[in-house]
């Protein structure tokens, strides 16, 4: 039997964890009216985590259909595919916004819900950004595509990094909701005219896709600057450390390794330009796994591991290129992708299972009454 991921001290801290967030974006007050109405339409027998998972699956599947039609980010997909992505993202946004309301409505709040929500968000961010980029046909500028993906993954990680330091998840005036509506708008334009972003800006002669990229650059850099200042000011722990009492700077190491490997391999070999979507999905799962580890560290007030087994996949690609191996890179990339996906899934399942066992709850069922005693660590409560 594999060793448990969470030890007794972490479980104790998890039981005492309280969700803390502050701030509101521009769109959120208006959307709250819709979200409050929507949650009332959901049966009380639906578990909040089920709502979250359904939204994630819809979003991921709609993006995978787009990738199927535009696997290198240079082609046009049928209009209905873009429309499907727009609808899929809106559905995900709606369900993601009401899972917490459903938990309060059904009195099923638990630390697992917060972890499950952020875990799904970390993966959704990868697919939302990738879908947006290939809709813009950024595959025609591979390094710009890579830059946008790295920027998105790093910004999401930084949001939880500063939460690990300050203990509070902080939202800005322009945040996730506004970003999602922007992507929905891009999908809608592409549904009407798939080649819309191939047009050039009059006088300047700049493709509209690059205008969209430049438009995303300002808010991203501002967010990174603001968040960096919060992190460098120090945390709520002893001697301005993190909530776990650890260094506020060391969390840069895991995500730094992912970003470095992602960029180095892409610039030293043709595998990225040949298979950009497969490459970015592979690294996206690694980035999501690292981020989820950070969320777990925050909620359990424990030190984050600097190295993670998910890095094994990128290291295989790096060593294959470094030693000029004859093993076909295309097949190796598929191996890495499969490994990264299963590593993400197995980690998520094990963490959820352990939390369910220790908190005596079910992950996807709020109707059945949990057993009064936890018989053993093998009891199956994810159902």
Q: Kindly tell me if the per-residue pLDDT of 375 is higher than 60.
A: no
In this prediction, residues 332-348 reach a mean pLDDT of 95
CA distance 135 to 123: 19
The pLDDT of residue 370: 62
Model confidence at 382, in pLDDT bands (50, 70, 90)?
low
pLDDT, residue 18, reads 84
113 conformational bin, left if phi > 0, alpha if psi -120 to 50, beta if neither: alpha
Whether 193 contacts 47, CB under 8 Å: no
What rounded mean pLDDT belongs to the chain?
A: 89
Say how many C-beta atoms besides its own lie within 10 A of residue 360's C-beta.
Answer: 13
Give the pLDDT score at 204.
Answer: 76
383 pLDDT band (50/70/90 cuts)? low
Radius of gyration of the chain (CA): 21
Q: What is the pLDDT of residue 19?
A: 82
- pLDDT, tens digit, for every residue of 232-251? 998 888 888 998 888 899 99
- In percent, the amount of the chain with pLDDT more than 90 equals 57
> How far apart, in whole angstroms, are the C-alpha atoms of residue 174 and residue 25?
5
**Residue 2's pLDDT band (cuts 50, 70, 90):** low
Provide the pLDDT for residue 170: 84
Structural domain total, the chain:
1
Do 61 and 101 contact (CB within 8 A), yes or no? no
| In a domain? residue 327 | yes
* Per-residue pLDDT tens over the stretch 78-122: 999 999 999 999 999 999 999 989 988 988 888 888 888 999 999
Predicted local distance difference test score (pLDDT) of residue 332: 93
Does the residue 74 lie in any domain? yes
The mean per-residue pLDDT over the stretch 263-271 comes to 91
Q: Give pLDDT, residue 376.
A: 46
C-alpha 67/C-alpha 87 separation (Å) is 16
Active-site residue, 17 included: no
The answer to whether residue 368 sits within a structural domain is no
For range 131-157, the mean pLDDT? 94
Average pLDDT of span 41-48? 91
Two tokens, residue 44: 């009380």
Question: Which pLDDT score is estimated for 173?
Answer: 80
CB 355 within 8 A of CB 6: yes
From the list 17, 118, 160, 298, the catalytic residue is 118
What are the strands, taking DSSP E only, across the chain?
21-22, 169-170
At residue 136's C-alpha, the angle toward residues 198 and 259, to 5°, is: 135
Task: Return the higher-pLDDT residue of 15 and 280.
Answer: 280
Does 349 fall in a domain?
A: yes
Q: Is residue 372 part of a domain?
A: no
Instruction: List the domain range (segments joined by +) for residue 102.
Output: 8-359
Residue 145 binned pLDDT confidence (cut-offs 50, 70, 90): very high
For residue 329, being part of any structural domain is answered with yes
> What is the CATH classification number for the domain harbouring 141?
1.20.120.1760
> What percentage of the chain exceeds 70 in pLDDT?
96
Q: Specify whether the CB–CB gap between 325 and 331 falls below 8 A.
A: no
pLDDT over 90 at 328, yes or no: no
Dist. CA 358–CA 314, nearest whole Å: 33
Q: Indicate whether 379 belongs to any domain.
A: no
User: Which of 22-31, 153-162, 301-310 has the largest mean confidence?
Assistant: 153-162
Query: What pLDDT was estimated at residue 379?
Result: 47
Is residue 202 included in any domain, yes or no? yes
């Amino acid at each position: 039997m594999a060793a448990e991921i969470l030890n007794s001290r972490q479980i104790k801290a998890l039981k005492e964890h309280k969700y803390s967030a502050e701030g509101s974006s521009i769109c959120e007050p208006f959307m709250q009216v819709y979200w409050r109405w929507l949650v009332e339409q959901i049966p009380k027998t639906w578990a909040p985590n089920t709502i979250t998972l359904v939204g994630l699956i819809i979003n991921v599947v709609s993006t995978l259909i787009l990738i199927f039609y535009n696997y290198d980010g240079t082609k046009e997909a049928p209009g209905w595919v873009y429309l499907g992505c727009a609808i899929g993202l809106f559905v995900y946004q709606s369900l993601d916004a009401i899972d917490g309301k459903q938990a309060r409505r059904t009195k099923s709040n638990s630390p697992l819900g917060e972890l499950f929500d952020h875990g799904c968000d970390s993966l959704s961010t990868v697919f939302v950004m990738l879908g947006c980029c290939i809709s813009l046909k950024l595959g025609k500028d591979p390094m710009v595509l890579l830059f946008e993906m790295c920027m998105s993954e790093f910004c999401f990680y930084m949001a939880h990094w500063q939460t690990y330091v300050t203990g509070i998840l902080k939202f800005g005036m322009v945040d996730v909701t506004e970003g999602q509506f922007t992507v929905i708008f891009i999908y809608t334009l592409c549904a009407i005219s798939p080649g819309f972003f191939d047009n050039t800006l009059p006088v300047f002669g700049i493709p509209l896709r690059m205008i969209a990229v430049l438009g995303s650059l300002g808010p991203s850099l501002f967010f990174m600057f603001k968040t960096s200042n919060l992190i460098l000011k120090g945390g709520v722990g002893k001697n301005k450390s993190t909530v776990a009492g650890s260094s506020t700077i060391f969390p840069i190491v895991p995500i730094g390794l992912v970003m470095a490997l992602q960029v180095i391999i892409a610039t030293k070999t043709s595998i990225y330009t040949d298979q950009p979507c497969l490459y970015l999905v592979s690294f996206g799962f690694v980035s999501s796994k690292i981020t989820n580890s950070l969320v777990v560290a925050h909620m359990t007030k424990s030190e984050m591991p600097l190295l993670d087994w998910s890095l094994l996949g990128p290291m295989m690609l790096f060593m294959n290129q470094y030693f000029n191996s004859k093993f076909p890179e295309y097949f190796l990339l598929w191996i890495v992708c499969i490994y990264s996906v299963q590593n993400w899934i197995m980690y998520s399942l094990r963490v959820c299972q352990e939390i369910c066992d220790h908190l005596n709850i079910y992950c996807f069922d709020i109707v059945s009454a949990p057993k009064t005693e936890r018989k053993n660590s093998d009891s199956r409560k994810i159902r």
